Amino acid sequence: MSTHYFWALALPKSTKQTMHSQLGDVVEHFPFKRWVYWEDYHITFAFLGSAEEQKLRRSIELVGEAIENERTFLLNLQGLGVFGSKKSPRIFWASVKKNDKLMNLQSLVFKACLRSGFTLESRPFAPHITLARNWTGDDFDHNWLDTYNPYQEKLISFPANEVVLYKTNLEKIPKYEPIATFSLISE
């Protein structure tokens, strides 16, 4: 399998640890086949797939230029959600509260990747942090997303302060390796 690349908002290590810790209480209620290793939590901005070195270098240059004046901002986890079949979801994720600055940042990165020559997904950006994949239980009950939401009572806020180009290494843990990192301007 070829190596894949993607641009994402990195989460602070302490945020990832807190998320993982709070999830510990609800994992038993959500029998998914594969849980994402906590150090791999992120918010994907643009999935590039396999890529030529020249296109990657161009995307690094253009993303850096596009976001060079962007400032750090706060994000809040909001809840849980799923993608895929209603009875047997494919992806289990944590949602991020709607934030215009996040939407703008993703748009800047996405457009820079398009200008770099990449063909990207055309679905609207739905900010989320993938937690697990492939439901293995009986029919999924969507009420569980509220009932077992660990982020309702213990709100997690975190700074959005780094945009990263990641390389996927399927044989390693963590499997996402930073290739280029851009820090946003601190307030």
User: Which of the residues are catalytic?
Assistant: 42, 128
Q: Is 119 helix (H, G, I), strand (E, B) or coil?
A: coil
Angle between helices 53-67 and 100-115 (to 10 degrees): 140
Other CB atoms within 10 Å distance of the CB of residue 58 = 18
Q: Is 141 helix (H, G, I), strand (E, B) or coil?
A: coil
CA distance 4 to 25: 32
Residue 145 burial (CB < 10 Å; 0-12/13-18/19+)?
A: middle
Backbone angles phi, psi at 31, to 5 degrees: -75, 80
Whether the CB-CB separation of 128 and 96 falls below 8 Å is answered with yes
